[in-house]
């Protein structure tokens, strides 16, 4: 049966509707979340999604903080929470046992929508995807999050679209899990993975070239380099090395397929960057690696302003849902900031949105639906495009 966004009082909060608007076309196509017993779900997927978007948007610090808001905050109770309310235990059960397939679907579909809407900043450099992992502090009872004795951590492996400044792929592992195996899963054919030294692996470089995937990866300074063909160096440039090479020691760990090595200097610091992008200038290769810093900025902003790493679940399933919800919230904000202000996501606009939602919810309490003759508003009014 076709499903739409729950219209419960949401037409009273225009700013929240604008933020959620991209979900209108996605939710009806989302796999149905079904109860595993004869009892109906106390919290269906839409309520679960809305609650976690609200959690990240409002910077709640814990699951209990969120539940309290769903019970006592007028806007959250009337617009976000299920009609019968939600208890701590029911919310924890929903987060830990169901909804992962649905959250993955919404995230993937929202990525597609954002990719079509947001402008490409460096389109002349190709499809650039920064790849990196970020550790998530866990508690000792999270037995699956192996890191080291006396400490538990999980690790999120993320692909970040550098042209549009949005996350594009996500995988979750234990904290001591390797990062290199996720490169081929994150990268698609024709994309260029932009990576730091921790991802240096000559076998991976060979495999990526074989698969039609590209890379720009910083390598360790002491890596053995065998020059096959030097290229001219631009005068007055920071570039001091540009050549076709083989990396590694012969018969030990040497690359099978030749690649390009670019060396450049910033101040007194030297960078060595391996790539298979022979179509670009050495300066462009240096610029691409510099852009890798954007994913670090994203991690810092995401953690600080959306509180994505305040644990509200201790299971792998629940943590993955929480991270996906944080990414979905960021994508919604990216679309919102672009369409409403022509800007990238920034804290000024996010705070402005929070204040607008709060002001509109207070106004809605003073003028409930029907008091101004609009009690018969249709869905085209509830979800009018911004």
The mean pLDDT of 348-376, rounded to a whole number, is: 75
* pLDDT at position 37: 63
- The span from the CA of 245 to the CA of 243, in Å, is 6
Q: Confirm if 363 and 11 have CB atoms less than 8 A apart.
A: no
Q: Average pLDDT of 272-294?
A: 97
Q: How far apart are CA 192 and CA 209, in angstroms?
A: 11
Give 193-200's long-range contacts (Cβ < 8 A, gap of 24+): 193/129, 193/130, 193/131, 193/159, 193/217, 194/128, 194/129, 194/130, 194/131, 194/162, 194/288, 194/289, 194/291, 194/292, 195/130, 195/131, 195/132, 195/292, 196/132, 196/292, 199/131, 200/274
3-state class of 61 per DSSP? coil
Pick the more confident residue, 90 or 341. 341
Q: Write down the pLDDT at residue 160.
A: 97
Query: What is the average per-residue pLDDT within 213-219?
Result: 98
- Numbers of helices and strands, H then E, in the chain: 13, 10
pLDDT at 383: 33
136-148 mean pLDDT: 87
pLDDT reported for residue 367:
66
pLDDT of residue 76: 84
Contact 259, 245 (CB under 8 A): yes
Confidence of residue 71 (pLDDT cuts 50, 70, 90): confident
Asked if the model's pLDDT at residue 147 lies above 80, the reply is yes
Q: pLDDT band at residue 370, thresholds of 50, 70 and 90?
A: low
- pLDDT for 154 beyond 70: yes
Report the percent of the chain where pLDDT is more than 70.
89
- Dump strand ranges (E) for 138-188: 146-148, 151-161, 166-174
Paired tokens of 311: 């644990």
pLDDT of residue 2: 39
User: How many degrees, rounded to 5, is the angle at CA 206 between CA 201 and CA 210?
Assistant: 145
- Note the pLDDT of residue 368: 58
For residue range 12-42, what is the model confidence (pLDDT) as tens digits? Answer: 689 999 999 999 999 999 999 877 666 667 7
The pLDDT of 171-199, averaged and rounded, is: 94
Question: Looking at residue 222, what is its pLDDT?
Answer: 95
Domain boundaries, the chain: 197-291
Q: What would the pLDDT profile of 292-344 be if each residue is shown by its tens digit?
A: 999 999 998 888 887 666 778 888 998 999 999 999 999 999 999 999 999 99
Q: In this predicted model, which residue has the larger pLDDT, 151 or 336? A: 336
Higher pLDDT, 124 or 363: 124
What's the whole-number average pLDDT of the chain? Answer: 87
Residues 17/53, Cβ–Cβ less than 8 Å: no
Residue of higher predicted confidence among 375 and 62: 62
pLDDT tens digit sequence for 40-60: 677 788 989 998 998 888 877
């Amino acid at each position: 049966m076709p499903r739409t966004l729950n219209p419960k009082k949401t037409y009273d909060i225009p700013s929240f509707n604008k933020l959620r608007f991209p979900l209108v076309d996605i939710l009806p196509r989302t796999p149905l979340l079904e109860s595993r017993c004869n009892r109906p779900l106390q919290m269906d997927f839409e309520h679960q999604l809305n609650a976690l978007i609200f959690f990240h948007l409002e910077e709640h610090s814990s699951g209990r903080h969120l539940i309290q808001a769903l019970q006592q905050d007028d806007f959250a109770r009337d617009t976000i929470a299920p009609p019968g309310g939600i208890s701590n235990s029911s919310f924890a059960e929903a987060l830990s046992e169901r909804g992962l397939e649905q959250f993955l679907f919404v995230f993937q579909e929202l990525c597609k929508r954002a990719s079509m809407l947001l402008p490409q900043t460096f389109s002349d450099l190709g499809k650039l995807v920064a790849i990196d992992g970020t550790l998530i502090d866990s508690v000792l009872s999270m037995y699956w999050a192996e890191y080291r004795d006396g400490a538990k951590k999980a690790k999120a492996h993320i692909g970040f679209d550098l042209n549009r400044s949005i996350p594009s792929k996500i995988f979750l592992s234990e904290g001591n899990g390797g990062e290199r195996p996720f490169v081929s899963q994150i990268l698609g054919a024709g994309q260029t993975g932009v990576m730091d030294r921790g991802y240096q692996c000559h076998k991976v470089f060979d495999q990526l070239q074989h698969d039609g995937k590209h890379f720009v990866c910083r390598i360790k300074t002491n890596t053995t380099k065998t020059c096959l063909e030097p290229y001219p160096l631009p005068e007055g440039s920071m570039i001091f090395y540009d050549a076709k090479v083989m990396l590694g020691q012969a018969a030990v760990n040497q690359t099978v397929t030749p690649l390009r090595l670019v060396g450049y200097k910033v101040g007194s610091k030297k960078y060595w960057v391996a790539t298979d992008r022979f179509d670009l200038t050495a300066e462009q290769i240096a610029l691409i690696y510099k852009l890798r810093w954007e994913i670090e900025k994203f991690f810092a902003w995401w953690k600080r302003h959306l509180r994505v790493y305040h644990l509200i679940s201790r299971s792998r399933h629940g943590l993955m849902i929480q991270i996906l919800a944080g990414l979905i919230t960021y994508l919604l904000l990216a679309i919102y900031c672009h369409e409403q202000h022509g800007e990238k996501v920034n804290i000024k606009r996010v705070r402005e949105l929070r204040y607008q939602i709060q002001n509109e919810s207070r106004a809605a309490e003073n003028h409930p639906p029907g008091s101004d003759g609009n009690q018969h508003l249709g869905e085209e009014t509830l979800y009018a495009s911004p």
